[in-house]
Amino acid sequence: MKLYEKYPVSLTNSLSGKKEVFEPLNAPFVGVYSCGPTVYSEVHLGNLRTFTAFDVVYRYLSFIDYKVRYVRNITDAGHLTNDAGQGVDRIEESAKLESLEPMEVVQKYTNSFHEVCELFNILPPSIEPTATGHIVEQIEMVNTILANGFAYVANGSVYFDVRKFMEKHTYGELSGRNIDELLEGTRDLERQDEKRNSVDFAIWKAVSPNHIQRWNSPWGLGIPGWHLECSVMSAKYLGRQFDIHGGGMDLKFPHHECEIAQSVGAYGKAPVRYWMHTNMLTVNGEKMSKSKGNSFLPKELFSGTHPLLDKSYSPMAVRFFMLQSHYSSTLDFSNEALSAAEKGYKKLSSSLTFIKSLNHPGTSTPDPSIHQTLEGLVESCYQNMSDDFNTATTLAVLFEMSSRINDFKSGNVPLSHVDPTVFDTFKNTYVGFMENVLGLKQESGVDDHLLEGTIKVLIELRKKARTDRNFALSDKIRDDLKAIGVQLKDGKDGEISYSIE
């Protein structure tokens, strides 16, 4: 029996607004798409929350035996400041400001995004496709939509014809908007004449020859409309209908609504079975924004250089902090909350270090009540994560497990009272949920851990040498360590501790 059969996943589908049982189209295969960054500046903390949330979705689905293809795109062309396809091209604008070729801007911020992901232990997706890598496919999709009568050409641009589309299909279902509201909300004063309706959006946008990023198309020189790339790339790599599409809730409208319309307009069926949206990030209770000066970058958190921060917080402390809330709740940054998260992370991490080095002696005089507790905690881990990927309640279970691990450490609960297989399941679950599911790796971990272990080997040798009255050896160990900056200290009880100079 596969783990996903034992612990069936339910998730809140933004389409219905309800929690639904997750039924993939072709289990064990699962296709997940999430909207990646537009690489014209440093990635924001809000984006990072979204990427972390879907990283955990990818990790957990894989952990419970699904074979997941996870696609997260890089937008490297076509993203204008106005979502409906007007305004300034973000990448061209950064290129001008920084005196770079647009693709140099793309490279610079793609590299920076990957660095942050690595710090944050966000796994690389199975495929990380780019808008510029799918120009042919985007032109073809525009052609298909035109052929189906849901778009029109105006001055070299192609617009999606929302009213025409609504004659046959619905529009606005995901975001719950109606067309009148949309007409009200998206009215724009500049150059609206080209569009038949203000709700229409560009799927191909004409550009002038001095626009550096540009491609030849049947409609002249242009760039793809921003919404189009996600429709094209998800269909190419996951199929015209696939399982899960995720993104920040600010993308629900118009971006995801447009994706649905484009795919339905081209292929006649809804592209996505389950839509998932992450909630907003606030700072001290206020919405994050550049103008308020409360918008900080991940690197500023890690270095503690932003005026709003009392100190620096490590990537894993911030990751832990984000996972303490359910992805669909708002999440408020404050120094107090971050400090508390840091403590929490350290507690769980220390239990992780301990249990990884703990092996069952192999014999036992089982105590059924302990078994019940340990097995219950294991069950709870799966049940909480399978319940809409609830990282918050899962962390609560891990804290409970950490207390049980401390019982082993202190000797309150002797390992000999635990059946070896129960212990192994408990241990593997704790380690697996910490490291593989939640991605909370040991920080500064590996080497410190090794150093500690190596010094302990020497301390044990020294103890033995003293017992053997081999003082030449025991002195040599002390002196050699001192020479490299490790100071041993002999306790009264024969125990030896150390400090690093």
Per-residue binding string, its own copies, 479-498, x by CB under 8 A, is: -xx--xxx------------
- The H helix count followed by the E strand count for the chain is 17, 17
What whole-number distance in Å separates Cα of residue 232 and Cα of residue 274?
Answer: 18
Residues 6 or more apart from 144 whose CB is under 8 A from it? Answer: 266, 267
Least Å from the CB of residue 375 to its own copies: 29
Q: Does 476 bind its own copies (CB under 8 A)?
A: yes
Q: Which is nearer to its own copies, 109 or 253 (CB)?
A: 109
Among 25, 97, 147, 500, binds its own copies (CB under 8 A): 500
44 to 73, contacts with its own copies by CB under 8 A?
69
For residue 355, count CB atoms less than 10 angstroms from its CB and return exposed for 0-12, middle for 13-18, buried for 19 or more. buried
Among 13, 52, 130, 390, binds its own copies (CB under 8 A): 130
Q: Does 455 bind its own copies (CB under 8 A)?
A: yes
Alpha helices in 281-390 (DSSP H): 298-303, 315-323, 335-356, 368-386
Q: Does 98 bind its own copies (CB under 8 A)?
A: no
Q: Does 88 bind its own copies (CB under 8 A)?
A: no
Per-residue binding string, its own copies, 196-235, x by CB under 8 A, is: -------------------xx-------------------
Q: Does 119 bind its own copies (CB under 8 A)?
A: no
Among 38, 75, 121, 132, binds its own copies (CB under 8 A): 132
Read off the DSSP letter of residue 254: I
Copy the structure tokens of residue 326. Answer: 């359910």
Total of chain residues touching its own copies, rule CB under 8 A: 45
Per-residue binding string, its own copies, 424-453, x by CB under 8 A, is: --------------------x--xx-xx-x
Q: Is 273 left (phi over 0), alpha (psi -120 to 50) or beta?
A: alpha
Q: Does 153 bind its own copies (CB under 8 A)?
A: no
Burial string for 131-154 (b: 16+ CB within 10 Å, else e) reads bbebbebbbebbbebbebebbbeb
What whole-number distance in Å separates Cα of residue 487 and Cα of residue 296?
Answer: 41
The one segment of 303-311, 318-326, 361-369, 478-486 that binds its own copies by CB under 8 A? 478-486
Torsion angle of the four alpha carbons 477, 478, 480, 481, in this order, in degrees rounded to the nearest 10: 110
> What's the sign of the alpha-carbon dihedral 79, 80, 84, 85?
negative
Q: Does 125 bind its own copies (CB under 8 A)?
A: yes
What whole-number distance in Å separates Cα of residue 29 and Cα of residue 300?
Answer: 39
Q: Which of 163, 159, 156 is closest to 182 using CA atoms?
A: 163
Binding site for its own copies (CB under 8 A): 69, 101, 103-104, 106-107, 111, 114, 124-130, 132-133, 135-136, 139-140, 215-216, 237, 444, 447-448, 450-451, 453-455, 457-458, 460-461, 473, 476-477, 480-481, 484-486, 500
